[in-house]
Amino acid sequence: MIAGRPTWAEIDLDAIAHNLKVVRDRCKADVQVLGVVKADAYGHGAVSIAHALARAGVERLGVASIAEALELRQAGITLPIVVLAGNYHRAERLLQQNRLQPVIFRHEVLDALEASIDPGEDPLAVHVKVDTGMGRLGCAPEELPDLVARIQRSPAFQLAGVMSHFARADEVGQQTRQQFESFTECLGPSDWQGAVRHCANSAAIFADSAYHLDMVRPGLCLYGVDPYDEASSGQLQPVLSWWTRINTIRTLPEGSAVGYGGRWVSRRPTRLGILPVGYADGYPWAGEGRAEVVIRNRRVPVVGAISMDMTAVDLTDLDGVEELDPVALLGGPSDRAVRADELCRWSGRLVYELLCSIGPRVTRVYKAGGLAQVGAPDLRVVLP
């Protein structure tokens, strides 16, 4: 923990393994799982999560960039890693050197990749992406046969997969079905000779087993968040809880304004707790006036503006609270726990955004098998 600033996130690696099993149980036995660990594993710490997923038997990992993949390779992760980027801009050689599997969808990118591979080297495993309606990366469905033929002709490449990505799998409606039909139509009945066909993110995994094909690509659900209401019928376990300790307690007279803008004014003599967490840590500024935390098993309101490094809470109705008492910002004990969807509702945030925004000042503490370990030991010291 950063000395004197006890604000940390507890990450339950057993829950990661449990959630992977929930995904497996949804799928047929021969369906592979690619665990999405991009954006530092949605803020959970990519290296620790990748090790946990590897131990739990995931077949591949997915990241957003070569740099993210290199971090995992340097940490000793040997699993196949798919780089979901589409274009590699003069870093192509790193893909071959580190046995990374790029996603491609354009001949120009294949040209650059081919040029980066020396004759006699192992072929580079690539995944071709088809745009069936997301409108970001991917070839048009009719371009797929030509790209595949080229990959299969070239000794530089091995076709590892053919993929697409859903835009609205968490919504009720026909859009996902239409995307899927467009994908399966262009895949045709052909035998893909070991190349995996994949399109399902978390929401699609729970929505319909037809979407699983040969491999699924869960992100959010591995981190214990239902991709839509009741998707997992309560089977997923929360992975991350976020904590701090009260830094200072002071009593202010009635009529005192608290925080930037002075928008909250005490209506009674108020015992105020100042928490060492703010928007620089990812605690949402927009939660002012709505957010709550849990102290001594009670919900306590955040008052005044959430500032960069500090947040104030009203402790007046709580007996016996002391400085250094623990405070749950997300999660926490029992039925009072702050749910991710609540914090999102209070702050107008997307749950993905909330998790990814928990900043580097928040020490990650990993728990597995009843043991805890503080992550990233760099400049930090562990408080007793």
Backbone angles phi, psi at 303, to 5 degrees: -125, 145
Name which of 268, 306, 300, 223 is nearest 13 in CA terms. 223
- For position 44 contacting ligand PLP by CB under 6 A, the verdict is no
- For position 132 contacting ligand PLP by CB under 6 A, the verdict is no
Orientation angle between helical segments 13-26 and 46-55, nearest 10 degrees = 50
Please tell me which residue in 88, 211, 260, 352 is annotated as part of the active site: 260
What tokens appear for 225 in the block?
């968040």
CA dihedral 340, 345, 347, 351 (to 10 degrees): 40
**Any catalytic annotation for residue 28?**
no
- For position 19 contacting ligand PLP by CB under 6 A, the verdict is no
- For position 165 contacting ligand PLP by CB under 6 A, the verdict is yes
Q: Any idea what DSSP says for residue 78?
A: -
Site mask for ligand PLP (CB under 6 A), range 221-250, x = bound? ------x-----------------------
- For position 202 contacting ligand PLP by CB under 6 A, the verdict is yes
Q: How far is the CB of 248 from ligand PLP (least distance, A)?
A: 38
Site for ligand PLP in 88-117 (CB under 6 A): none
**Any catalytic annotation for residue 38?**
yes
Residue whose structure tokens are 């993929």 = 163
9 torsion bin: left (phi>0), alpha (psi -120 to 50), beta (else): beta
- In this structure, are residues 346 and 287 in contact, taking their beta carbons and an 8 Å threshold? yes
Q: Is 261 exposed, middle or buried (0-12, 13-18, 19+ CB in 10 A)?
A: exposed
- For position 36 contacting ligand PLP by CB under 6 A, the verdict is yes
Name the closest residue to ligand PLP (Cβ): 219
Complex with ligand PLP: residue 231 or 275, whichever CB lies closer: 231
SS3 82: strand
Q: How far is the CB of 220 from ligand PLP (least distance, A)?
A: 4
Task: By CB under 6 A, name the one of 35, 219, 282, 332 that touches ligand PLP.
Answer: 219
Q: How far is the CB of 81 from ligand PLP (least distance, A)?
A: 13
Q: How far is the CB of 203 from ligand PLP (least distance, A)?
A: 6
Helix (H) or strand (E) holding 169: none
Residue whose structure tokens are 């009720």 = 172
Q: How many residues contact ligand PLP, by CB under 6 A? A: 11
- For position 364 contacting ligand PLP by CB under 6 A, the verdict is no
Between CA 283 and CA 270 the distance in angstroms is: 23
Binding piece for ligand PLP, criterion CB under 6 A, among 141-149, 152-160, 198-206, 335-343 = 198-206
Question: How far does the chain reach from its first CA to its final CA, in angstroms?
Answer: 10
Positions that interact with ligand PLP (CB under 6 A): 36, 84, 165, 201-203, 217-220, 227
Q: Active-site residues: which are they?
A: 38, 260
